[in-house]
Amino acid sequence: MFLREAVYHRPKQNFAYAADRQTLHLRVRAKRGDLVRADAIVGDKYAWERTAASVPMRLFASDELFDYWETAVVPPYRRLRYAFKLTAEDDTVYLTEKGFADRLAPNPDEFFDFPYINPVDVFAPPSWVKDAVFYQIFPERFANGDPSLDPEDVQPWGGEPTPRNFFGGDLKGVRDHLDHLERLGVNAIYFTPVFEATTNHKYDTTDYMKVDPHFGTNEDLKALVEECHGRGIRVVLDAVFNHAGKTFPPFVDVLEKGAESEYAGWFHVREFPLRIEDGIPTYETFAFEPIMPKLNTEHADVKKYLLDVARYWVEEIGIDGWRLDVANEVDHAFWREFRQTVKAANPEAYILGEIWHDSMMWLQGDQFDAVMNYPFTNAVLDFFAKDSIDAAGFANAIGGQLAAYPQTVTEAAFNLLDSHDTARLLTLCGGSEKRMKLAALFQLTYPGVPCIYYGDEVGMAGGGDPGCRGCMVWDEAGQNAGLLRFYSETIALRRTYGAFRDADIAFLQAERGSGTLVYERRGTDGSRFIVAMNAGVLPAEVSASADSRSWQDAYSGEP
């Protein structure tokens, strides 16, 4: 007998989805350890007898409570009726849409149904994304390449970052240091906002059609993008469409004219005139931040304006995608139109939402290609940085994440370990370079798009905002050369071996109470890598059975 209550399957989302235009992935969940075998009974609903087949499933992930079984099926006519045969030591039960049954019904009317693989509905991120290694740049703090653009009150490079000070970083600075990025091995940049705004972080946009004058001009950005492309580096900008800034002209107009403003409908105003009462604005904002009025993305004029913005930077400036700020507070309907607009301008543009929570509803093919994968971040930090979970807990957290999304989503997820919104990785690791390296090693050998926050690679530390937004250290004496070498070597490994980018991961050793983790990465090309690490405070001996004598050290190439 196995536990019926633990079994779960519901068509679509992460349990039955088109992995490509021909292939369906089917998954079923059961209590951990309950099943010795699972099979999918599949066929075409209009030709059942001729097409019915039983397909074995594999246990592809586990978390604390559950095992997840999966198989891939290519339906002969793009449609699939299916059931599951679940086998425990002493029990075999069939699962259909109608529930459990001891024997299979003679016809598949009450089986689960995947009605049709329609290409337009298939989740399909740009092909380059799976192979990308991102580098996040906070432009005001990366490099000051043109002091003539500096704000009036600019501080000397390398000073203490505060919420409001400026250090003069600009686009020219980025261009001057592209060699550093090439040497590091990254092939994509995510820039936090570059449009005109009043703050150093630029999340309070004044003009969505103009590069901030302290950073440069639209032409400067275009030239930077072109140079990046020449070096094989893609460029993604930050789209702050949830809210504008207090200097955004339509908002200024509403501030001045109230309900009479022609832009009154562009915002969510609870009460005119706009004001702040007991710390709460009478208009909706990001959080309760008065300088960030929420845009009414259901309003036709607002939609047109923002979609024109989305199109302009892709089409005219040549950027390769958008990172969407506070993406989950904007309506789904807007993002669907946004996707159509952006993909029409460049089908290979990457659409990356900022969502810190469960994101399945944005990752079904009609909205985003990926989200910033903070659940991944948290699991890695809990294990490698904070030592607050053991190897088993970590493997369970990762297993749960693999199961929570389609494989295609996992392979395109944006796996960051820190950002401008968190403390820096080295600081989160309590200053331990060893822990930091293990965390980064996991990140760089895990499916999904790794992103390195500028400066982490040279050993920069820093707490939460504003501490994490310090000036990039360019003086080699202040850089950690060993860490930089580690990053470039590990990025090179990832970019060399497809197995580190493919989805298949198996935890070979992840025990309760242990800090020792051993996992195998398997490539669709048949290659296999074993990664062993000890995140504990004690030395540990790792043993993993390698079933062949042909294993090599991936770093050195030696046996």
Enumerate the active-site residues. Answer: 325, 354
Contact between 37 and its own copies (CB under 8 A)?
Answer: no
- The DSSP bridge pattern shows strands 195-197 and 24-31 to be unpaired
Q: What is the 3-state secondary structure (H, E, C) of 312-336?
A: HHHHCCCCCEEEECCHHHCCHHHHH
Local structure of 122: helix, strand or coil: coil
Only segment of 7-15, 54-62, 174-182, 408-416 that touches its own copies (CB under 8 A): 7-15
Contact between 118 and its own copies (CB under 8 A)?
Answer: yes
Only segment of 114-122, 306-314, 500-508, 548-556 that touches its own copies (CB under 8 A): 114-122
Interface residue with its own copies among 20, 121, 315, 433 (CB under 8 A) is 121
Interface residue with its own copies among 21, 33, 36, 46 (CB under 8 A) is 46
DSSP codes of every residue in 141-196: GT----GGG--TTPPPTT----SS------HHHHHHTHHHHHHHT--EEEEPP-EE
Tell me the site size for its own copies, rule CB under 8 A: 52
- Alpha-carbon separation of residue 66 from 25, 202, 223, 242, 397 (angstroms): 18, 44, 51, 37, 11
Question: For its own copies, which is the closer residue by CB, 149 or 428?
Answer: 428
Alpha-carbon dihedral angle through residues 197, 133, 482, 181, given to the nearest 10 degrees: -60
Contact between 489 and its own copies (CB under 8 A)?
Answer: no
CA separation for the pair 358, 53 (Å, rounded): 34
Map the footprint of its own copies across residues 252-291, applying CB under 8 A. 284, 287-288
Only segment of 8-16, 316-324, 510-518, 534-542 that touches its own copies (CB under 8 A): 8-16
Interface residue with its own copies among 60, 94, 112, 215 (CB under 8 A) is 112
Cβ pair 91, 1 in contact under 8 A: yes
Contact between 332 and its own copies (CB under 8 A)?
Answer: yes
Least separation in angstroms between residue 120's CB and its own copies is 5
CA 420 to chain centre: 15
Question: For its own copies, which is the closer residue by CB, 16 or 235?
Answer: 16
- Alpha-carbon separation of residue 154 from 158, 245, 551 (angstroms): 11, 22, 54
- The DSSP bridge pattern shows strands 134-137 and 188-191 to be parallel
Question: For its own copies, which is the closer residue by CB, 280 or 542?
Answer: 280
CA separation for the pair 340, 221 (Å, rounded): 24
Map the footprint of its own copies across residues 368-407, applying CB under 8 A. 378
Question: For its own copies, which is the closer residue by CB, 10 or 485?
Answer: 10
Element spanning 92, H or E: strand 91-96
Question: For its own copies, which is the closer residue by CB, 367 or 415?
Answer: 367
Least separation in angstroms between residue 70's CB and its own copies is 18
Only segment of 169-177, 178-186, 350-358, 406-414 that touches its own copies (CB under 8 A): 350-358
Only segment of 170-178, 349-357, 423-431, 531-539 that touches its own copies (CB under 8 A): 349-357
530 DSSP 8-state letter: E
Contact between 298 and its own copies (CB under 8 A)?
Answer: yes
Map the footprint of its own copies across residues 47-106, applying CB under 8 A. 47, 64-66, 77-79, 97, 99
Contact between 330 and its own copies (CB under 8 A)?
Answer: yes
Cβ pair 371, 352 in contact under 8 A: yes
- Backbone φ and ψ for 239, nearest 5 degrees, come out as -100, 110
- Backbone φ and ψ for 300, nearest 5 degrees, come out as -55, -40
The counts of H helices and E strands in the chain are 13, 25
Contact between 213 and its own copies (CB under 8 A)?
Answer: no
Least separation in angstroms between residue 254's CB and its own copies is 19
CA separation for the pair 259, 362 (Å, rounded): 34
Interface residue with its own copies among 33, 74, 91, 116 (CB under 8 A) is 116
Contacts of 476 (CB under 8 A, 6+ apart): none
Interface residue with its own copies among 36, 101, 276, 333 (CB under 8 A) is 333
Contact between 329 and its own copies (CB under 8 A)?
Answer: yes
Question: For its own copies, which is the closer residue by CB, 5 or 179?
Answer: 5
Question: For its own copies, which is the closer residue by CB, 3 or 252?
Answer: 3
Question: For its own copies, which is the closer residue by CB, 211 or 292?
Answer: 292
Residues found near its own copies in the complex (CB under 8 A): 3-6, 8, 10-13, 31, 46-47, 64-66, 77-79, 97, 99, 109-110, 112-113, 115-116, 118-121, 284, 287-288, 297-298, 328-334, 336, 355-358, 360-361, 364, 366, 378
